[in-house]
Amino acid sequence: MDPAGEIQKVASMRRGDSGSMWRRGDDVFSRSSRDEDDEEALRWAALERLPTNDRVRRAIVPFGLGAGEAAGAANGGKGVVDVDVLSLGPQERRALLERVVRVADEDNERFLLKLKDRIDRVGIDMPTIEVRFENLEADAEVRVGSSGLPTVLNSVINTVEEAANALHILPSRKQTMPVLHDVSGIIKPRRMTLLLGPPGSGKTTLLLALAGRLDKDLKVAQIEYYTALNNAFKATICVKGKVTYNGHEMTEFVPERTAAYISQHDLHIGEMTVRETLAFSARCQGVGSRLGRILSNMLTELSRREKAANIKPDADIDAFMKASASAMGGQEATVGTDYILKLLGLEICADTMVGDEMLRGISGGQRKRVTTGEMLVGPARALFMDEISTGLDSSTTFQIVNSLRQSIHILSGTAVISLLQPAPETYNLFDDIILLSDGQIVYQGPRENVLEFFESMGFRCPERKGVADFLQEVTSKKDQRQYWARRDEPYRFVTVKEFVTAFKSFHTGRAIANELAVPFDKSKSHPAALTTTRYGVSGKELLKANIDREILLMKRNSFVYMFRTFQLMLMSVISMTLFFRTKMKRDSVTDGGIYIGALFFGVLMIMFNGFSEMALTVFKLPVFFKQRDLLFFPAWSYTIPSWILKIPITFIEVGGYTFLTYYVIGFDPNVGRFLKQYLLLLAVNQMASALFRFIGGIARNMIVSNVFASFMLLVVMVLGGFILVREKIKKWWIWGYWISPMMYAQNAISVNEMLGHSWNKILDSRTSNETLGVQVLKSRGVFTEAKWYWIGFGAMIGFTLLFNTLFTLALTYLRPYGNSRPSVSEEELKEKHANITGELLDVNNLASGSTRSTGINTESDSRTAEDGSSPARRGMILPFVPLSLTFDDVRYSVDMPPEMKAQGVVEDRLELLKGVSGSFRPGVLTALMGVSGAGKTTLMDVLAGRKTGGYIEGDISISGYPKKQETFARVSGYCEQNDIHSPQVTVYESLLFSAWLRLPEEVDSNKRKIFIEEVMELVELKPLRDALVGLPGVEWSVD
């Protein structure tokens, strides 16, 4: 039965009956409205007659919103039509979304309440998740002092030491640093929980443990840990304790799909747009949004109960629910994705490239929202969000958190959100607070009781101070004194251990302990609350999703493939001129050797042409590892498209080289041998591409990959049978000859040429009856049988399959490198242990210890007064000339992106700065403020002269003189938001190198070092002077 035809039939019959009825005269003015209402009622009646499986895929929408225009046109373009929700296009989806949520700030809560009301009317329970964690402890093994710095001597010593430790010959010199200590608590559903704590308190570790991102048995895990000095390292952390969801252990379900951990680091493919990034995430996870997963689990039962109770739902809400719930993995974009874009304020940049350090894209704040949205489009019912507000303005943060609050409260979700000093209005959106300090929970419970607890300890939040800022500082040695409220008692530092002990006797702490003592009743857990399937959709759908994404990325990176083809064509021209046929003879074995050299050159160029695959692989690996660990897809569904889709490009590249060089060089003119050479070079190119993909996958780092690939090329060339013939290779290296892919390729291509008709002549029958071709082959140590062509071709196919299989296995089982700051200072380790045990340390000794290696006398600067006051400020040792900067009517525009032109935009340029004017005066600190995406970075780039593309208009003056970039660069410093540093140098070495390059030569070495010390003190870098800079988001935190 055709559902659409049935609905049309019933509606026509009802219209015919109603048309013969008499109407009163006063009904004329309301006839149009009544007709439309009758039309909708008729279509609803017809829709109710459909089977449930068909009914949940069809919705009643206004004419013009969806398909079925013929039916609407028969009604004069008015009324409603029934549509299959899977047939809605992009414009129809957005129009439907506009009908239910026009303005996210104003309409989202009303929309969610309507959803909840519809569900409640038929008595369906929403699935909820209660997360409990008991006695969590985490300890990291670290090196103390400079023994972990990656010097040549340390690398040798540490390698020998680790081997001796494994053999139990020497004890390990690593020490244990506590990360979490005896942490217990409960995360309730329908409540927003704010996780607060200073850097190094263990917030990230706790969130990872709660989200199931550590080992499921909570024994050993490789995680990233942030120290109190706000730098990070990955280390082996031993974790003990218990985490349950609704009473179920982590091994009883799939936590990666039940809960979502949103990292503070933004890892995305820069060549994809915001909409494409979120749509791919939704497609891999199976449903268009968290809302879609909730609705898909209950819509069938909801429709059945509504039909039984004769309840007619709101048409717009019904259409949205069906469109969200029916959005299966095969769709590239869904109404749920559009809903998340609107919720996060990303509609304005939905069709803009995400971008990266090398590609212009969205702003840093928008990129942070993309990271959040990538997980919100998934099915998780528990959210663990790590510092999602970094780079966002306060209004945007408030909007996002408020939307999450509405969803959590109304749809019975669970959320723990870590924020760094949220604004008071954002802080007030939360229901519960968890305050973590030095790996221990200082407070957990309702937001309303947190100040009461600290007042009982003698600390009061001033009226001028935000509560979140107060909570961040009240456990700090440096800041605690200012909040002491008991004027009749002398102040003393209250340790974290004392806070923890006091909280256990506080009424909120006692309530949590009592609740933890009673196990959660598993029978109360909703069947749909916990996800037990590993992936959101079938392997076939995941493969299709990755194929579509790989095709998209190949289009976006088309320049790489065009340049590769051009490069090969250039090498073919060089090959033709080096081995031109008029100079190539066939009169001796020596002449044959030159032909063998030409064949070797061709094989070598084809192999080198696959080198770019390694870089393309390595650059995408960080995003791959993130998505693999989030169970977006298995590794094989990623590696197969990266191999198969490159084959057509191979035909073009190799075909161009072979067609240009074969007859010009003068190889055997037989067409069959020409095609066999072309076929063999195709296999060689595929083998080389697979080899370099495998190297990139197993090395996982560009530097390591380049070293390994260069060594591999050297080995296969030397042992390939051309540079050293087989007879000259020593017997202890002959195994390398037999496993070298180059050997099989060289043998095959040489046999194909030398057994051809052109070489089928005997030079001197008195000395040998062998043909010239066979003599050439023997002189080069090549096998002379014709079967070696097919052996070589088969070997290339075998190596291709082998390397692609190994590439898949490498991406399946290997983890990303833990590029780490592998050591901590002795003072930091002592302070960490003291905070756990409640001991007091001499602050002056710690301060002097942290600066004992500077070589500069800074004693007077690091001295702290007894009353806690700061030392007097001093001026900088290097004077400078004050300058003013003025700019008038500055405009900046770029060429209109093709994606926006495809949506109907007719302008040729997109203006990003629109007549901006202003001035910056010496001695005045100016704050450049604006919402995320307002153009702050663009203005700074233009003023600093960092824009290399686009169109800049307007006047920029320095102290009244027109700005010249060559001289302005010498008197200015621009601190960009993208951190690009040399990772293998320390902080002090990096600043010393920069000062040596930028300061004039008349500044002597001593003054330069003193100036560096002053700068380090100004920006609080002294404790980090001997720490490695590392990579952004890997070594240190973004702060």
Query: Domains (ranges, CATH) in the chain?
Result: 3-85 (no CATH), 259-504 (3.40.50), 551-813 (no CATH), 882-977 (3.40.50.300)
881 or 868, greater pLDDT: 881
DSSP structure class, residue 480: G
Distance CA 240, CA 234 (A): 18
How confident is residue 1031, by pLDDT bands cut at 50, 70 and 90? low
Q: 706-715 long-range contacts, Cβ below 8 Å, gap at least 24?
A: 706/614, 709/611, 709/614, 713/607, 713/608, 715/740
| pLDDT for 2 | 52
Contact 253, 532 (CB under 8 A): yes
Q: What is the pLDDT of residues 526-550, one digit of tens each?
A: 888 898 889 988 899 999 999 999 9
371 vs 374: CA distance, rounded Å: 5
Integer angstrom CA distances of residue 615 from 374, 497, 688, 692, 800: 25, 50, 13, 9, 18
Confidence category of residue 596, pLDDT binned at 50, 70, 90: very high
Residue type, 821: R
pLDDT surpassing 50 at residue 716: yes
189 SS3 class: coil
What pLDDT does 241 receive? Answer: 87
Structure tokens that stand for 254 in this block: 């799939």
The Cα 643–Cα 693 span in angstroms is 9
* pLDDT value at residue 391: 75
Rounded Cα–Cα distance for residues 764 and 395 (Å): 92
Contacts of 267 (CB under 8 A, 6+ apart): 371, 622, 623, 626, 1033
Contact 753, 763 (CB under 8 A): no
Cβ atoms of residues 315 and 60 within 8 Å: yes
Nearest of 207, 264, 29 to residue 1037 by alpha carbon: 264
Tokens of 117: 């009301």
Predicted pLDDT of residue 948: 80
- Measured in degrees and rounded to the nearest 5, phi and psi for residue 628 equal -65, -45
Q: How many CA atoms lie within 13 A of 231 on its CB side?
A: 25
* Range with the poorest average pLDDT among 802-816, 935-949, 974-988: 974-988
What confidence tier does 659 reach under pLDDT thresholds 50, 70, 90?
very high
Contacts of residue 301, defined as CB under 8 A and 6 or more positions apart, other chains included, come to 124
Nearest to 657 by CA among 722, 601, 581: 601
Could you give the CA distance from residue 797 to residue 873 in angstroms, rounded to a whole number? 72
Mean pLDDT of 651-677: 93
Q: Which amino acid is at 699?
A: A
* Confidence tier at 862 by pLDDT (50, 70, 90): very low
The residues, any chain, with a CB within 8 Å of residue 468's CB and separated by 6 or more, are 194, 196, 419, 421, 422, 423, 424, 427
Distance CA 311, CA 307 (A): 6
Give the contacts of 678 (CB within 8 A, at least 6 positions apart).
654, 655, 658, 662
d(CA 1019, CA 1025): 12
Phi, psi of 143 (to 5 degrees): -95, 145
What pLDDT is stored for residue 528 in this prediction? 84
Beta bridge partners of 886: 919, 957
**233: pLDDT strictly greater than 60:** no
Considering only residues 524 and 817, tell me which one the structure prediction assigns the higher pLDDT. 524
- CA angle, residues 287, 293, 298, in degrees to nearest 5: 130
Q: Any idea what the Cα angle at residue 660 is, between residues 657 and 666, rounded to 5°?
A: 115
Distance, in Å, from the CA atom of 750 to the CA atom of 594, rounded to the nearest integer, reads 12
Q: What is the mean pLDDT of the chain?
A: 82
Count of C-beta atoms within a 10 Å radius of residue 918: 13
| Adjacent-strand bridge partners of 220 | 238
For residue 246, give every residue at least 6 positions away whose Cβ sits within 8 Å of its Cβ, in sequence order, or none: 128, 129, 130, 520, 522, 524, 525, 529, 530
Contact 1035/819 with Cβ under 8 angstroms?
A: yes
Please give the pLDDT value at position 296: 57
Choice between 1007 and 142, residue whose per-residue pLDDT is larger? 1007
User: For 45-64, what is each residue's pLDDT tens digit?
Assistant: 777 777 767 777 777 777 55
Confidence of residue 697 (pLDDT cuts 50, 70, 90): very high
Q: What is the pLDDT of residue 150?
A: 67
Q: How far apart are the first and last CA of the chain?
A: 62
Length, in residues, of the chain: 1039
What is the percent of the chain with per-residue pLDDT over 90, rounded to a whole number? Answer: 41
Q: Pick 364 or 829 by higher pLDDT.
A: 364
**Predicted confidence (pLDDT) at residue 490 exceeds the cutoff of 80:** yes
Euclidean distance between CA atoms 624 and 718, whole angstroms: 35
Q: Two tokens at 402?
A: 């408020």
Listed ranges 153-157, 216-220, 913-917; the one with the highest mean pLDDT: 913-917
pLDDT band (50, 70, 90) for residue 76: very low
Task: Please tell me the distance from the alpha carbon of residue 915 to that of residue 135, in angstroms, as a whole number.
Answer: 59
Confidence of residue 125 (pLDDT cuts 50, 70, 90): confident
